[in-house]
């Protein structure tokens, strides 16, 4: 059966990759819901429309989820079988400067899409796209699993945790078929140039110096499990096709979507420099002093998804080189 899938934040970085992947790998109709502000860039969807032969199955609806979805917007969206809620404000620095905006986008916005979702009697699945940051910093050797306690360290992570708890409440109160995913640092083509990987690509290309955030001794760089957005999209489709919606389970299903390899930010910058055959110029900076509200290390366990049969298919180094090559050929995506 051909499904109708609503993707919130469809012009955002991760969501547009999900849309493109679903168009390539299913026969589903996709409805993109977006407000087209800072993170929602219509050029991303324009690339899909131009390059993907299946883009006739994509429709685009404008709406800002800070407000309730009106009847006229509901009519534009039409019937929905699956909702993928990826719309969010996601920049830590901006959340520290303007926390209320993140509460409105990530908590109130989530409540509004949940209210919309509970009007559908036959909704198959609702995926809430959360983040590793709800768990807070991870000491060396610690990898948080899906049901570990939260320890938000900035307004962004707190607002994502708040939205996540709302989805749990709607699942328990209204029996919505909700699934929660947590993912770590996602990268890929068409990412906003403020993010670490495109920023490194640009600075290395231009011969500039990169700041590597580290511990107080300025010797241990921060580390992450980076994952390409296409691998995230592949994991989401795996969850949609292979895993239950959780209505009959004791607790809400949660899945960590994690890259295979942990890498520190100095190693990552060096891979990007090597891919350009350029010298890496860098300085180490104490992250606590320079970036309050940020954490040196995040880490999630990807064991549950691996046990169920999913993990990224392509190695991290190859993915990074793909993104470097693509971005150097599309320098318009490095303009702030």
**294, 221 contact by CB (below 8 A):** no
Instruction: In whole angstroms, give the CA distance from residue 134 to residue 180.
Output: 12
What is the chain's mean pLDDT, rounded? 93
What pLDDT does residue 290 have?
54
DSSP run (H or E) holding 18: helix 13-25
133-188 pLDDT tens trace: 999 999 888 999 999 999 999 999 999 999 999 999 999 999 999 999 999 899 99
Question: Average pLDDT for residues 294-298, to the nearest whole number?
Answer: 78
**44, 22 contact by CB (below 8 A):** no
DSSP string over 98-116: -HHHHHIIIIIHHHHHHHH
Q: Which domains does the chain have, with CATH numbers?
A: 4-186+225-257 (3.40.50.720), 191-224+262-296+315-334 (3.90.25.10)
Question: Average pLDDT for residues 324-332, to the nearest whole number?
Answer: 96
Question: Average pLDDT for residues 300-329, to the nearest whole number?
Answer: 96
Instruction: In whole angstroms, give the CA distance from residue 110 to residue 147.
Output: 20
The catalytic site residues sit at 156
Orientation angle between helical segments 316-329 and 196-206, nearest 10 degrees: 60
Instruction: In whole angstroms, give the CA distance from residue 169 to residue 160.
Output: 14
């Amino acid at each position: 059966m051909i499904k109708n899938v609503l993707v919130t934040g469809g012009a955002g970085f991760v969501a547009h990759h999900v849309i493109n992947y679903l168009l390539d790998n299913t026969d589903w109709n996709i409805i993109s819901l977006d407000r087209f502000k800072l993170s929602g860039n219509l050029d991303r969807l324009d690339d899909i429309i131009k390059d993907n032969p299946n883009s006739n199955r994509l429709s685009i609806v404008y709406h800002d989820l800070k407000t309730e979805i009106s009847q006229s917007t509901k009519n534009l969206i039409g019937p929905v079988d699956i909702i993928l809620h990826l719309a969010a404000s996601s920049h830590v620095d901006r959340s520290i400067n303007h926390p209320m905006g993140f509460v409105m986008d990530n908590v109130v916005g989530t409540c509004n899409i949940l209210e919309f979702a509970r009007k559908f009697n036959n909704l198959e699945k609702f995926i809430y796209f959360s983040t590793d940051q709800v768990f807070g910093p991870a000491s060396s050797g610690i990898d948080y699993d899906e049901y570990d306690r939260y320890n938000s360290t900035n307004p962004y992570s707190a607002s994502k945790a708040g939205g996540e708890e709302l989805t749990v409440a709607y699942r328990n109160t209204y029996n919505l078929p909700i699934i929660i995913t947590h993912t770590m640092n996602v990268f890929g083509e068409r990412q906003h140039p403020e993010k670490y990987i495109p920023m490194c690509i640009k600075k290395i290309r231009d011969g500039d110096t990169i700041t590597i955030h580290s511990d107080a001794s300025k010797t241990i760089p921060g580390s992450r499990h980076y994952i390409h957005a296409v691998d995230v999209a592949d994991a989401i489709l795996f969850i949609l096709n292979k895993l239950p919606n959780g209505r009959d389970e004791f607790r809400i299903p949660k899945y960590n979507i994690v890259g295979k390899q942990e890498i520190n930010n100095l190693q990552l910058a060096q891979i990007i420099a090597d891919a350009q055959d350029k010298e890496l110029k860098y300085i180490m900076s104490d992250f606590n002093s320079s970036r309050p509200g940020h954490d040196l290390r995040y880490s999630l366990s990807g064991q549950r998804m691996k046990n169920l049969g999913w993990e990224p298919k392509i190695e991290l180094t190859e993915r990074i080189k793909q993104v470097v090559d693509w971005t150097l050929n599309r320098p318009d995506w490095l303009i702030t």
